[in-house]
Amino acid sequence: MIIKRESRTGANDLQTIYRPCRIDEMVGHETNKNVIRGNLDSSKVPHSYLFTGPAGCGKTTAARIIALGLNCENADKASYPCLECNSCKSILNHNSMDVQERNIGAYGNKDDVLRVIEDLPMAPFSSKYKIVILDEAHKLTSASQDALLKIIEDGYDHVYFILCTNEPEKLKGALIDRCNIMHFGKIAIDLVCEMLKNVAEFEGMEYKQEVLQYIATESTGVPRRSLVWLKQVSDEGSWTIEAAKEITGIFVDEDSAEVIELCRALLSGEWKKSITTYANLKKLPPESVRVAIEGYFTGCLKRARSYGDGRRFSKILDAISAPIYATGKTAENRFYNYMFKVIDIINTK
């Protein structure tokens, strides 16, 4: 069931606007949905989950749904959070003091992890439970995994851990053994295509079915990827297979090491360092890199802990929001201009 919700972070990307907030809204994953629904409604949620599977297939979304269900103040059934109480709103707004979400690709050394867990023994600030969601968990250092292992093993009644990764083999066996494991695989192409059709109709797009089918097929069962492409195809406007082929030519994820490295260079406000870092991505279409960077800074906006930081990241998203439909040197030049705009915003106090 596709439901459109106003973005609370100012982002206008479809994968944010249509992100599921209740378990029944997720596409596919029927067995996992049944297990999570049963856990929530029976108040028997395990205190440590490990969600595995490819990027963009629902791991973090499921983790947020669990956080909403555990802390909702009004729901008759935890699997159907109200989304209107103070707890739900704070989680949806990404400013809950009790639900911490960390991208370990960016914040994963021992000190970062210790800062997350040092306050866990204390009671929740304004919710029923504290939930820690660790995305890209396979990037945890050995020392970080040891620190987590101890607190997961000892356990607190008011604390829940959800680790998300597409490379579980990089985690220590002792840590894996203490988690309830669920695998989130890719979605059937027909389900992805139906999802795209529903979104297109909600958005009032004058879509062509064969283009939706092409996007669904090229996405190889990854809903987030397909929604990114649907937005780009709609923005381009021709709804031809040729345009869709160009847009879906190369996909780069916001969590890739190269993108994170470039974003860190931009955040440092260093122009020459950013140019040098971008050289490793120049083989990719500038539009693909722009979309990935937009996803990264959307994540920064969601995690912003002050109005000033949020305002700065919002300005960055505004500055890089226009798609780059040009090709060749023109597209590259426009991307350089986008990078300079980001650095200018970072360096303007």
pLDDT at 98: 93
pLDDT tens, position by position, 308-328: 888 999 999 989 988 776 667
Q: Which fold has domain 14-183?
A: Rossmann fold (3.40.50)
pLDDT tens, position by position, 31-49: 999 999 999 999 999 999 9
Average pLDDT over every residue of 153-170: 90
Instruction: Enumerate the domain spans of the chain.
Output: 14-183, 189-247, 257-347
Among 57-71, 214-228, 229-243, the range with the most confident prediction by mean pLDDT is: 57-71
Q: Is the pLDDT of residue 249 over 90?
A: no
User: Quick one: pLDDT band at residue 284, thresholds 50, 70, 90?
Assistant: confident
User: Quick one: pLDDT band at residue 7, thresholds 50, 70, 90?
Assistant: very low
pLDDT tens, position by position, 112-142: 777 888 888 888 888 899 999 998 898 888 8
Average pLDDT over every residue of 152-173: 90
The 3 state secondary structure assigned to the chain is CCCCCCCCCCCCCHHHHCCCCCHHHCCCCHHHHHHHHHHHHCCCCCCEEEEECCCCCCHHHHHHHHHHHHHCCCCCCCCCCCCCCHHHHHHHCCCCCCEEEEECCCCCCHHHHHHHHCCCCCCCCCCCCEEEEEECHHHCCHHHHHHHHHHHHHCCCCEEEEEEECCHHHCCHHHHHCCEEEECCCCCHHHHHHHHHHHHHHCCCCCCHHHHHHHHHHCCCCHHHHHHHHHHHHHHCCCCHHHHHHHCCCCCCCCCHHHHHHHHHHHCCCHHHHHHHHHHHCCCCHHHHHHHHHHHHHHHHHHCCCHHHHHHHHHHHHHCCCCCCCCHHHHHHHHHHHHHHHHHHHHCC
pLDDT tens, position by position, 289-298: 888 888 888 8
pLDDT at 62: 95
Q: Which CATH class is domain 189-247?
A: mainly alpha
Q: Is the pLDDT of residue 11 over 70?
A: no
Question: Mean pLDDT for the chain?
Answer: 87
User: Quick one: pLDDT band at residue 107, thresholds 50, 70, 90?
Assistant: low
Q: Is the pLDDT of residue 342 over 90?
A: yes
Asked if domains 14-183 and 189-247 share a fold, the reply is: no
